[in-house]
């Protein structure tokens, strides 16, 4: 568990509260007394969520440096393009002049190139490699 002073300043190996130096073994008790704040643990995110990091504020009695939000369409499309580009790179050697590309591979690569125009951002499905 990470702790901060009430203003969000991180605590190192010890903290002075009421002119008494306390070590990490006392941090939980100090937090329960309201002398210091526990830092909120970032939650698990879905594929459609992201976190924005900032200077922080107190949320629900804990110091929180992040805000969870849904990804924008632009962010989702950038991820789709990135994944698509990697999948295309994995099959680039089929497009060399000395390799005969099957029609299944041609169709697969065409379907990848058609992304992200054909993708539903609420249910992203990539074509299956033959």
- Measure Cα distances from 77 to 25, 87, 129 in Å: 46, 15, 21
Q: Residue-wise over 35-63: b if at least 16 C-beta within 10 A, else e?
A: bbbbbbeeeeeeeeebeeeeebeeeeeeb
Tell whether 23 is covered by a domain.
yes
* pLDDT tens track for 34-74: 999 999 888 899 988 999 988 788 888 888 889 999 999 99
Instruction: Using the predicted structure, report yes or no on whether residue 87 has a pLDDT greater than 90.
Output: yes
pLDDT above 90: percentage of residues in the chain: 60
Number of structural domains (the chain) is 2
Tell whether 119 is covered by a domain.
no
28 plus 86 within the same structural domain? no
17 plus 38 within the same structural domain? yes
35 plus 93 within the same structural domain? no
65 plus 16 within the same structural domain? yes
Note the pTM of the prediction, 2 decimals.
Answer: 0.66
- Dihedral, CA of residue 88, residue 90, residue 96 and residue 98, to nearest 10: -140
């Amino acid at each position: 568990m990470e702790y901060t002073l009430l203003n969000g300043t991180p605590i190192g190996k010890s903290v002075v509260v009421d002119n008494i130096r306390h070590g990490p073994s006392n941090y939980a008790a100090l937090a329960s007394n309201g002398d210091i704040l526990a830092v909120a643990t970032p939650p698990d995110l879905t594929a459609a969520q992201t976190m924005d990091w900032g200077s922080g504020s107190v949320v629900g009695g804990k110091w929180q440096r992040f805000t969870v939000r849904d990804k924008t369409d632009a962010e989702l499309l950038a991820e789709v393009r990135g994944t698509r580009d990697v999948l295309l790179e994995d099959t680039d050697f089929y497009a060399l002049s000395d390799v005969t590309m099957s029609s299944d591979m041609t169709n697969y690569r065409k379907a990848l190139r058609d992304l992200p125009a054909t993708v539903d951002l609420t249910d992203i499905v990539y074509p299956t490699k033959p």
